[in-house]
């Protein structure tokens, strides 16, 4: 087990070390998602092209209540944030939540492997960490998908794997346990910079939440267009029939 912990740490450290720090924080009117980043999220989710709708962008003075007001009950989402460590290095990180955010649910527990579809990501460093599957029947490790409370921002995992505090800015941290591609808990390694967790030392800049829907295939657009043409034709015929009846 300890060998796997060390292996997980070395891999995350190596990959995170290749990340290029972000030059500037995004304002409330600027999307954190470049076309390349969106394409990467689409690849990781594996559902083809996606329509991502920005339902929340952090503004000056916002708290977790503002995040929940905009995001609760909206279905599955990507939460994306600029995370700066104590050394002043910044990464673009976040998580995929397959369920709706809530202010009151507490931990969303997913016991079945088929429900463990959440994942964390570091877009700057280019890697994704899936929710751990069961080691054996009924295993609780990997079951704590997200933590939902009014005084928490978008928070993932037990411990927490990615924690956003009430003011959405100061005292955040990452201590991986629920999410890891090695198939075992990562023993407190940070998603942000690969360091071992010692204290809350992450400052969050811009935070945005996007709802997710599928982009219809071209054939679907064709069917919709044909349907609209048919409806328009029926409407014209009805108008002509009505005019004849009047004359």
- Give, for 97, the enclosing helix (H) or strand (E): strand 90-97
pLDDT band at 62 (very low <50, low <70, confident <90, very high): very high
Query: What is the sign, positive or negative, of the torsion defined by CA atoms of 35, 38, 44, 49?
Result: negative
* 225: confidence class by pLDDT, cuts 50, 70, 90: low
Beta bridge partner(s), residue 127: 122
Q: In the beta sheet, which residues pair with residue 173?
A: 163
Tell me, rounded to whole angstroms, the distance of Cα 238 from its chain centroid.
Answer: 49
Q: Mean pLDDT lowest for which of 5-9, 57-61, 203-207?
A: 5-9
pLDDT tens, residue by residue, 69-115: 999 999 999 999 999 999 999 999 999 999 999 999 999 999 999 99
pLDDT score for 216: 78
- The residue extents of the domains of the chain are 2-215, 219-247
pLDDT at 185: 66
- Give me the pLDDT at residue 154, please: 98
Q: Are strands 50-57 and 77-84 parallel, antiparallel or unpaired?
A: unpaired
For the chain, counts of helices (H) and of strands (E): 4, 9
Find the mean pLDDT for residues 46-53: 97
Q: Cβ(53)–Cβ(208) under 8 Å?
A: no
């Amino acid at each position: 087990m300890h060998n796997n912990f060390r292996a997980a740490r070395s891999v995350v450290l190596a990959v995170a070390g290749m990340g290029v720090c972000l030059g500037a924080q995004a304002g409330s009117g600027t999307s954190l998602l470049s076309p390349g980043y969106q394409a990467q999220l689409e690849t990781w989710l594996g559902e083809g092209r996606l329509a991502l709708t920005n339902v929340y962008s952090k503004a000056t003075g916002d708290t977790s209540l503002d995040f929940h007001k905009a995001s609760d009950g909206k279905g599955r989402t990507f939460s994306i944030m600029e995370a700066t460590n104590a050394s002043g290095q910044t990464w673009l990180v976040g998580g995929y939540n397959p369920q709706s955010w809530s202010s009151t649910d507490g931990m969303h527990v997913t016991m079945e492997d088929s429900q463990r579809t959440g994942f964390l990501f570091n877009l700057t460093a280019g890697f994704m960490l899936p929710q751990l599957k069961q080691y054996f029947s009924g295993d609780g490790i990997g079951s704590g998908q997200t933590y939902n409370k009014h005084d928490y921002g978008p928070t993932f995992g037990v411990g927490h794997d990615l924690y956003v505090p009430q003011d959405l800015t100061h005292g955040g941290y990452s201590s991986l346990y629920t999410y890891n591609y090695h198939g075992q808990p990562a023993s407190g390694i940070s998603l942000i910079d690969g360091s071992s967790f010692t204290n809350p030392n992450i400052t969050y800049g811009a935070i945005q939440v996007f709802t997710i829907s599928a982009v219809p295939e071209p054939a679907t657009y064709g069917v919709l267009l044909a349907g609209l043409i048919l409806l328009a034709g029926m409407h014209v015929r009805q108008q002509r029939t009505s005019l004849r009846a009047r004359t």
